[in-house]
Chains A and B, each alone.
Chain A
Amino acid sequence: MVNRRRSRRLAAFKTVVYVVLGLFFLLPIAAMVEFATRGVGISSPRSLTAFTSIGSDPELVDAITASLELAAITSVGMLALLLPTMIWIRLRVPQMVRPVELVCLTPLTIPAIVLVVGFAPIYNWIEINVSDSILMLAFAYLILVLPYCYRALDAGLSAVDLRTLSEAARSLGASWGTVIWRIIVPNMSSAVSNACLLCVAVVLGEFTVANLLNFENLQVAISILGTGNARDSIALAVLSLVFVFFFLLVLSFLGRALSRRRGGAAKA
């Protein structure tokens, strides 16, 4: 009886939350679509011409490809850099946990426009001596995603009994690689997938650093196209949101497929 009443209250609560917040988040986007579909002049009919303007620029395809590649490189790099380090310091060097946390928060405390001032000389060196491909942005993006991904991974790690799991695995002869990838990660799969999701979202939505370093990524390309016409720029912004949304959705299904195949440990 108590459970049924509780579940009914919970269901009502959930509905209210979804409706209220759904309205809050969808109304501004609806306003953007409403604006972008207006015709020119007061009583012109609505049209989708603003949305088709996206086909007019071949550079946009290059920009999209570059951004997707950057998203992939940054996600992999972030996991490779952050996950082993976070697990390691929690287990072996606990006094480093807080300093690393502060370090991971620093990229967010400095506005991007200032960070670029610091990046510029480094990138100048990279572009002259290594490569001036847009993929070099991955170095900066790895830093930019640190705050978000650290927090997402940390929330997951805090729910896992690291010490017990790793000791048990090590005592059974597992290497550190096995411990990380086959024991710990499956127990924090939602944290890992959320961190990757944030990574991809940050990279696909990033504008300031790419813009000030004169690279043309997705958002910069949209910005250039958008200076031509108000309706076009808003339509492009909406399309960019929709594109990233569907991309993230597809990724989440991919993530589930991958973890199933690996036969990860069931969440206890």
Chain B
Amino acid sequence: MKGSAARATCLGLALTVVGTLAACGGSSDSSWSTATSAASNGGMSALITAAKAEGQLNVIALPLNWANYGTIIKDFSAKYGIKVNQANPQGSSQDEVNAVNSEKGTSKAPDVLDIGMAVAWANTSLFAPYEVSEWSDIPADQKDAGGLWYQDYGGYMSIGYDSSKYTVTSMADLLTPAFKSAVALNGDPTEANAALNGVMLASLANGGSVSNIGPGVSFFKQLNAAGNFVPVTATAATIDNGTTPVVFDWDYLNSASVVNLPSWKVFVPSNAILGGYYAQAITKTAPHPAAARLWEEYLYSAAGQNLWLQGGARPVEMTAMQANGTLNQTYAAALPAVSGSPVTLDQSQASSAASYLASNWSAAVGS
């Protein structure tokens, strides 16, 4: 093993030297671009030193109000003195992967990715294997065995609503005339992961299953026919201004709206608990490999995981942290109450749902 590791390190050294000649910014310790864990390359202190020497980190598609990323970025930057360069804040997971390919070799290529599972499964060839120090705290079915991707946080699909105007106790309520021009999604379900899962939630609550999104599309068709569906993409601004007072979205994204609209409440149907996690990955061609790995170490430390918890998302190490007492109980108590067993879409279910939507979504809500 040692021989091949040495050879790999030499190759990594050569590649990184070529890359560093072109890239501006701090010098990078070449060995980190192929390191598969902190321990294997000198430990955390060596990683921190190398990351600080690099001085920068390129992240992409991280809106500041998404699962508390604003605080996370500020905290990381202050703690290690590393400048975090943000790009394409409203981009989709696919945009992140597109950027990795189009920016390859430049100093602006993304170092780390936070992507939906569908995109993660499809693009493992772009990721560098890495196991964070808390690797064993991540459940086995929520990480890639080879360390290429690892889930970070997740939540349940929910219905957020302005409680000063509406009361939602079940999904069927939304079809009543009281909800005229009120119900919206977070994006186009044929494009955005959150919106697709929103339609899937409707399906689960109306007799469908993770393999059948049809009832969900019919639900939205009914919603549209009743005049209750608003085709506007729900954003913080439209929620604030009242144009989209009822929104299908991940519970942690819905929770973020409470800051601007104190009467905003989050409802998870008891008969339909649809969970979804996002995943982290380090790019193989990261211009700042040590900073990228430090970022992951930071995110999977108790401090990082609790910051996600503060943002209303369920961190992937939640069970382990609950057991060893590092979970922040105040934040945990603020999560929406969920009873029952959640389901999640796997790769084939996600793609069959997407194909169904591609053929049927426009027709259902288009008029």
10 A-B pairs with C-beta separation under 8 A: A35-B237, A42-B164, A127-B103, A128-B105, A128-B106, A132-B106, A212-B95, A214-B60, A216-B86, A230-B241
| The residue from B66, B86, B95 contacting A224, defined by CB atoms under 8 A apart | B86
Task: State how many angstroms separate the Cβ of A242 from the closest Cβ of chain B.
Answer: 19
> Are A228 and B64 interface neighbours, CB within 8 A?
yes
Closest to B257 in A: A230
Chain B count of residues within 8 A CB distance of the other chain: 37
Measured between alpha carbons, how far is A224 from B98 in the docked complex, in Å? 19
Q: Give the residues in chain B near A117, CB-CB below 8 Å.
A: 102
Closest to B24 in A: A132
Task: State how many angstroms separate the Cβ of A178 from the closest Cβ of chain B.
Answer: 44
Q: Give the residues in chain A near B103, CB-CB below 8 Å.
A: 120, 124, 127, 213-214
Task: State how many angstroms separate the Cβ of B188 from the closest Cβ of chain A.
Answer: 14
The answer, yes or no, to whether A263 is at the interface (CB within 8 Å) is: no
Measured between alpha carbons, how far is A213 from B109 in the docked complex, in Å? 10
Q: Give the residues in chain A near B58, CB-CB below 8 Å.
A: 214
A-B contact count (CB 8 A): 83
- 9 nearest interchain CB pairs? A230-B236, A120-B102, A227-B63, A230-B237, A228-B64, A127-B106, A214-B108, A214-B87, A230-B240
Task: State how many angstroms separate the Cβ of A99 from the closest Cβ of chain B.
Answer: 30
Task: State how many angstroms separate the Cβ of A250 from the closest Cβ of chain B.
Answer: 30
> Are A40 and B262 interface neighbours, CB within 8 A?
yes
The answer, yes or no, to whether B326 is at the interface (CB within 8 Å) is: no
Measured between alpha carbons, how far is A224 from B89 in the docked complex, in Å? 6
| The residue from A35, A215, A227, A233 contacting B241, defined by CB atoms under 8 A apart | A35
The answer, yes or no, to whether B107 is at the interface (CB within 8 Å) is: yes
The answer, yes or no, to whether A121 is at the interface (CB within 8 Å) is: yes
> Scoring A residues 218 to 253 as 1 if CB is less than 8 Å from chain B, else 0, what string do you get?
001001100111110110000000000000000000
Interface centre among A35, A41, A230 (most CB of B within 10 A): A230
Measured between alpha carbons, how far is A120 from B105 in the docked complex, in Å? 12
Main secondary structure of the interface of B (DSSP, over half): loop
Give residues 48-103 of B contacting A (CB, 8 Å): 58, 60, 63-66, 70, 85-91, 95, 98-99, 102-103
Residues of chain B touching chain A, judged by Cβ–Cβ distance below 8 Å, are 22, 24, 58, 60, 63-66, 70, 85-91, 95, 98-99, 102-110, 164, 235-237, 239-241, 260, 262
| The residue from A123, A132, A216, A231 contacting B260, defined by CB atoms under 8 A apart | A231
Say which size band chain A's interface belongs to: 20 to 34
Closest to B110 in A: A214
Task: State how many angstroms separate the Cβ of A10 from the closest Cβ of chain B.
Answer: 41
Task: State how many angstroms separate the Cβ of B316 from the closest Cβ of chain A.
Answer: 23
> Are A229 and B164 interface neighbours, CB within 8 A?
no
Task: State how many angstroms separate the Cβ of A181 from the closest Cβ of chain B.
Answer: 39
Besides A35-B241, A38-B240, A230-B241, 18 other CB < 8 A contacts?
A: A41-B262, A127-B103, A132-B24, A212-B95, A212-B98, A212-B99, A213-B103, A214-B103, A223-B90, A224-B64, A227-B63, A227-B89, A228-B70, A230-B235, A230-B236, A230-B240, A231-B240, A233-B237
Q: Using A120-B102, A127-B108, A128-B105 as known contacts, say yes or no to A212 and B88 having CB atoms under 8 A apart.
A: yes
Task: State how many angstroms separate the Cβ of B72 from the closest Cβ of chain A.
Answer: 13
> Are A230 and B239 interface neighbours, CB within 8 A?
yes
The answer, yes or no, to whether A211 is at the interface (CB within 8 Å) is: yes
> Are A35 and B240 interface neighbours, CB within 8 A?
yes
Measured between alpha carbons, how far is A136 from B86 in the docked complex, in Å? 19
> Are A229 and B260 interface neighbours, CB within 8 A?
yes
Q: Give the residues in chain A near B85, CB-CB below 8 Å.
A: 216
Measured between alpha carbons, how far is A35 from B237 in the docked complex, in Å? 9
Q: Give the residues in chain B near A211, CB-CB below 8 Å.
A: 87-88, 91
Q: Give the residues in chain A near B87, CB-CB below 8 Å.
A: 211, 214, 216, 220
> Are A229 and B236 interface neighbours, CB within 8 A?
yes
> Are A124 and B241 interface neighbours, CB within 8 A?
no
Measured between alpha carbons, how far is A216 from B262 in the docked complex, in Å? 33
Q: Give the residues in chain B near A41, CB-CB below 8 Å.
A: 262
Measured between alpha carbons, how far is A183 from B87 in the docked complex, in Å? 47
Measured between alpha carbons, how far is A120 from B159 in the docked complex, in Å? 39
Q: Give the residues in chain B near A213, CB-CB below 8 Å.
A: 102-103
Measured between alpha carbons, how far is A215 from B239 in the docked complex, in Å? 30
Measured between alpha carbons, how far is A40 from B239 in the docked complex, in Å? 13
> Are B88 and A214 interface neighbours, CB within 8 A?
yes
Q: Using A214-B87, A228-B64 as known contacts, say yes or no to A132 and B108 having CB atoms under 8 A apart.
A: yes
> Are B237 and A127 interface neighbours, CB within 8 A?
no
Q: Give the residues in chain A near B235, CB-CB below 8 Å.
A: 230
Q: Give the residues in chain A near B109, CB-CB below 8 Å.
A: 214
Closest to A211 in B: B88
Measured between alpha carbons, how far is A129 from B236 in the docked complex, in Å? 41
Q: Give the residues in chain A near B164, CB-CB below 8 Å.
A: 42
Q: Give the residues in chain B near A38, CB-CB below 8 Å.
A: 240
Closest to A42 in B: B164
